[in-house]
Structure 1
Amino acid sequence: MNTEKIKVHFTDNYLINPTNPIAVNMIGAGGTGSKVLTGLMEMNHSLIALGHAGLQIRLWDDDIITEANLGRQRFADSETGLYKSVALINRANRWSGTNWKSETVKFERDSLGRLPEHGGASIFISCVDNVKARFEIADILTGLNNNYTYSNCPRYWIDFGNSQHTGQVILSSIGKIKQPNSEKYEPVDNLPFITEEFTDLLKQSETNDDAPSCSLAEALDKQDLYINGVLAQMGCSLLWELFRNGLIETRGLFLNLKNFRSQPIPVA
């Protein structure tokens, strides 16, 4: 008889029943980020309907909308020339009556090595298009050291990444999350960073061309039309499970849209 307990991660208690909206720093507003934000709008509305305090999003991106972004990303022709973060947050606030914020700079340390202003949040979501940015985010999150107020104490990082037909979503804890005792499950208090767990995989993909595309056709040669949207939906579903169920057995996934296969990443 197999008596081995299933490994799970219990959601940090504060996220389940907060007194104020959960602060979220979202980094990247492109092909994936623009679609993840739609998922967060739906999630915020649903959480509030269930009696939760909801989410407070701050979106970071210094890119300007160009014609090449239309079609694959969530932008209209009339928004060309605007900052991506401003266009998306303005639209989200009009739709949902929220007071979410946009930042038209990169989420990075300044020339003196200081952390970003307004950098405090409970959840960090990265939708960046190069490996260097992921390692920089990991370095910043490691340096936060929980120096913020309890409501903005850094707890989780969820990273979205993809190539043309494949991608991954990985949830990490920022440090250890206190877990309850359980007779049924084996609680896991630490979910490692993608930069720690899959360092070799990230370095292998470091040669990918992340230069801006000049047209939609060129952009589609780098990232297929629906890879971003599928990852966004699956990643938001993972985050929703963290809120709704209070525990997870799976902390991410690898996706191959070419053969329609996904591989879950179990809590371990």
Structure 2
Amino acid sequence: MIAAPDFITNYSVSGWQKMKIIVVGAGGTGSALLNKLFQMHMTLINLGAQGFDVRVFDDDIVSPSNIGRQSFWPCDLGLPKVEVLVSRYNQFGGVNWSAITRKFEADDARGDTIIFGCVDNVEGRKAIHEAVQKERNIVWIDAGNDSRSANVFLGMSAKTNNKHCYLPTVYDLFKSQMDAPIANPEPSCSTAEAVARQDYGINDIAAFHAVQMLWGFIRHGQTEYQGVTIDLRSGVTTPVPADAEMWAMFGFVNSAIAA
């Protein structure tokens, strides 16, 4: 079990300020996650809370392979992804979220913030990890996937029960892969190529599990696991516990999460 950081607990109890959220990436997983965040935002508003203050970072534009498969329409072709998505929620949902048409940088994050990582490249994850190291009270929920499987991992550097707690991030757990010289994937030119790379539904499932971890913190004050692995082939979703032995299996040798 992982207790909610104090800044999330304070949000849940006070209900007088909006929770700061950053979404890095507005593609398949990011666009699906934004929809779920808006649903959660409205649920919290109806429960008497202030909802979310969301900033979305992405420097990509809508391509033909994004139409329909992601949350984009034919009229969006060639437009910045973040501007398309955020403007719809602002216009039709009554929110005032922010679209930033560039890549996320570590200095973009400040304390008391939830960061959702929805990028398919190492560069983006390194920037988020740097933000976690620089700032206190940052929670990073990373959602990554390949064609038919996905991983969602929670990491944080935040006060919990008035003590600083460090939970290893996806960068810590997969550091050897993160530091390896891996070329970023080329954009898909067709829907067939895109579906071959990311099968239908995998982004939506990863997004659901990512926001569910935040909901556990807000509504229940805890989450029962640090991550999940998802396999579309077998239909099996497996929770990953927050456990020093598990971290060692991934190569993370520092077993102390409190300082």
- Take 2:41 and 2:10, find their aligned partners in 1: how far apart are those partners? 16
Q: Aligned to 2:114, which of 110, 119, 123?
A: 123
Give the alignment partner of residue 234 of structure 1, picking from 192, 197, 209: 209
Shift of 1:190: 2.9
Deviation at 1:136, TM superposition (A): 2.4
Distance in structure 1 (CA, Å) of the matches to 2:231 and 2:185: 20
Alignment-derived partner of residue 133 in structure 2: 142
Question: In 2, are the aligned partners of 1:9 and 1:247 still within 8 Å (CA)?
Answer: yes
Query: Given residue 232 of structure 1, which amino acid in structure 2 is its aligned partner?
Result: A
Counterpart position of 1:164: 147
Q: What corresponds to 1:177 in structure 2?
A: 159
1:62 — aligned with what? 59
Query: Does residue 84 in structure 1 map to residue 60 in structure 2?
Result: no
Q: Residue in 2 aligned with 1:16? A: 12
Give, in whole Å, the separation in 2 of the partners of 1:10 and 1:74.
Answer: 31
* 1:77 Cα deviation after fit: 0.4
Q: Which runs of 5+ in 2 are unaligned?
A: 244-259
Q: 1:202 to 1:258 in 2, by over 3 A?
A: farther
Taking the TM superposition and a 5 Å limit, the aligned residue runs for 1:24-43 are 24-43=21-40
1:249, CA displacement in angstroms?
1.6
Shift of 1:207: 4.3
Partner deviation per Cα, 1:86-136 (whole Å, 9 max, x = no partner): 000011112320011100011126xxxxx23xx336111110011232122
Change (3 A) 1:255 1:59: same
SS at match of 1:25: strand
Query: Aligned residue for 1:263?
Result: 238
Q: CA separation in 2, counterparts of 1:209 and 1:102?
A: 23
Task: Report which stretch shifted further, 40-49 or 7-16.
Answer: 7-16
* Whole-angstrom CA distance in 2 between matches of 1:155 and 1:128: 18
Q: 1:225 is matched by which residue type in structure 2?
A: Y
Distance across 2 between alignment mates of 1:25 and 1:10: 18
In 2, Cα distance between equivalents of 1:208 and 1:239: 31
**Does the residue aligned with 1:250 lie in a helix, a strand or coil?**
coil
Matched, 1:196 2:179: no
* Root mean square deviation of aligned Cα: 2.1
Task: Give 1:237 shift.
Answer: 1.5
Name the aligned partner's letter for residue 15 of structure 1.
Y
Partner of 2:247: none
Relative to structure 1, the CA distance from residue 41 to residue 235 in structure 2 (aligned partners, 3 Å threshold; closer, same or farther) is: same
For 2:93 and 2:39, the matched residues in 1 are separated by 9
Match of 1:112 in 2: none
- Flag the structure with higher helix content: 2
Unaligned runs of 5+ in 1: 1-6, 110-114, 147-153, 181-186
**CA deviation after TM superposition for structure 1 residue 247, in Å:** 1.2
Matched residue type, 1:122: T
Letter in 1 for 2:86: I
Residues 132 and 138 of structure 2 are in contact (CA less than 8 Å); yes or no, is this contact kept in structure 1?
no
TM-score (norm 1): 0.82
Code of the aligned partner of 1:162: N
Please list the CA deviations of residues 124-163 of structure 1 after superposition, one character each: whole Å capped at 9, or x if unmatched: 11100112321222113312x34xxxxxxx4311111011
Aligned residue in 2 for 1:107:
104
Instruction: State whether residues 159 and 170 of structure 1, in contact with CA within 8 Å, keep that contact through their aligned partners in structure 2.
Output: yes
Partner residue of 2:124? 133
Task: State which of 55, 65, 72 in structure 1 corresponds to 2:69.
Answer: 72
1:168-217 CA distances to partner (integer Å, 9 max, x unpaired)? 111111x242227xxxxxx993321111123245568x747511111111
Structure 1 distance, partners of 2:94, 2:29, is 23
* 1:188–1:267 contact (8 Å) kept in structure 2: no
Residue 97 (str. 1) matches residue 94 (str. 2): yes
Greater mean alpha carbon deviation, residues 95-104 or residues 127-136:
127-136
**Alignment size in residue pairs:** 239
* 2:22 alignment partner AA: N
Structure ranking higher on relative contact order (CA contacts 8 Å, 6+ apart): 1
Percent identity of equivalent pairs: 33
